[in-house]
Amino acid sequence: MRQRRRTVNKRSSLIARGLRGLLKGLSIFVVGICGVVVALRWIDPPTSAFMLRDRVSAFVADDRSYEFRQEWRDWDEISLNAALAVVAAEDQQFPHHHGFDFKQIDKALDDRRQGKRSRGASTISQQVVKNLFLWPAQSWLRKGAEAALTIVVEATWPKQRILEIYLNIAEFGKGTFGVEAASQRFFRKNAAGLSPAEAALLATALPSPRRFKVNAATPYMKQRQAWVERQMRLLGGTAYVSNLD
């Protein structure tokens, strides 16, 4: 009987030590990730999870046509038209929310319950987190990690920094990441010189850059481009994004 008790106590002790070790390791991991997030307020990210995934996929598939393009540009080297266009197209409440647009979340849930097609309710802040650190597949694990990291990003980065990083890591076409690479590829100019129409056209590709090709715009994309330009004007022009905190 005593031997059985000793065996049970030994197992309980091993389980407890294992759980403590797991929690310690998890705590170190979380602190490390949060440290990286905070550091990126000042340090430009050299790559992103989505860029790495894209390049590895092309290598594994031996895609000879693949060409990776990405050039970092600081905020003052990017046309405010580009900043305004992505906000108008993707997240019009970006200057005002704290990472989550609950009105859009409620609308997306209602659309799903009614069987309607929904564009989703991810904010630019959430998309930055997903593109930088996570993976595209939908899961509760990814959504939970995305929500937690979005809170950290919103608490430690100014809005201008969030939008600056988004403009530099968003995918605009096969192998084309960031507004500078997209501007050079599709318009043969620097991102600083993008017109409202060009910026709006780039923004139409953001929901699905492999499906919506900027250099072969469909009638739907042209309609969407006109809608984005109209929203840019209704938001008050570039002043809407020129003085972000």
Render pLDDT for 180-236 as a digit per residue (tens, 0 to 9).
999 999 999 999 999 999 999 999 999 899 899 999 999 999 999 999 999 999 999
Q: What is the pLDDT of residues 66-114, one digit of tens each?
A: 999 999 999 999 999 999 999 999 999 999 999 988 887 777 666 666 6
Sequence-ordered alpha helix ranges (H) in 61-121: 80-90, 102-113
- Rounded to two decimals, the pTM is 0.88
Q: Work out the mean pLDDT of the chain and round it to a whole number.
A: 89
Q: Please report, for residues 48, 73, 82, 83, 190, the alpha-carbon distance to residue 237 in angstroms, rounded to integers and kept in the order given.
A: 30, 22, 11, 11, 21
Q: What is the pLDDT of residue 25?
A: 63
The closest of 132, 194, 219, 141 to 168, measured between CA atoms, is: 132
Question: 173: which strand partners?
Answer: 176
Q: Give Cβ neighbours of residue 135 (< 8 Å, ≥ 6 apart).
A: 49, 53, 142
